[in-house]
């Protein structure tokens, strides 16, 4: 299952280590809403069965930050486990509308969470 999470930023400046900040958001929501799943995934050093990427529209990379003029980013999330996908969908949905502090100067707010439909393979 794939998810598309549209986020709004309070500033044009986003930290260069944005992957860690997105993981912070995921862990925050999971620890709050699904503590047993959080313990299973992060209580020991194991491979996680999910992946994500972050899309910035026309970013400008500077020394230690990324400038995003339209103050938006899209988190693309994917997992092959249906149960885990539901957990992540619920986490992102519950965090929707909440101002999440990324740095001292930047807050992130989840605007929408969409399930991306699976494309059907029609031929070889």
CA atoms of 7 and 3, how far apart (whole Å): 13
CA atoms of 89 and 26, how far apart (whole Å): 11
Class of domain 2-116: alpha beta
Q: What number of residues does the chain have?
A: 124
Strands 13-15 and 65-67: antiparallel
Domain definitions of the chain by residue range: 2-116
Q: pLDDT, tens digit, for every residue of 79-95?
A: 999 999 999 999 999 99
Contact in structure between 74 and 59 (CB atoms under 8 Å): no
Nearest to 51 by CA among 71, 23, 31, 12: 23
Locate 30 and state its tokens. 């999971």
pLDDT grade for 63, boundaries at 50, 70 and 90:
confident
Query: What's the pTM?
Result: 0.88
Task: Tell me what percent of the residues of the chain surpass a pLDDT of 90.
Answer: 82
């Amino acid at each position: 299952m794939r998810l598309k999470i549209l986020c709004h930023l309070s500033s044009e400046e986003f930290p260069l280590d944005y992957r860690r900040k997105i993981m912070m958001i995921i862990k925050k929501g999971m620890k709050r809403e699904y503590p047993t799943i959080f313990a299973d995934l992060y209580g020991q050093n194991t491979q996680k069965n999910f992946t994500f990427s972050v899309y910035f529209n026309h970013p400008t990379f500077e020394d230690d930050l990324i400038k995003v003029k339209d103050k938006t980013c899209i988190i693309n999330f994917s997992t092959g486990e249906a149960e885990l996908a539901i957990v992540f969908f619920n986490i992102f949905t519950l965090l929707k509308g909440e101002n999440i502090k990324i740095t001292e100067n930047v807050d992130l707010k989840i605007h929408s969470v969409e399930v991306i439909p699976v494309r059907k393979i029609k031929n070889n």
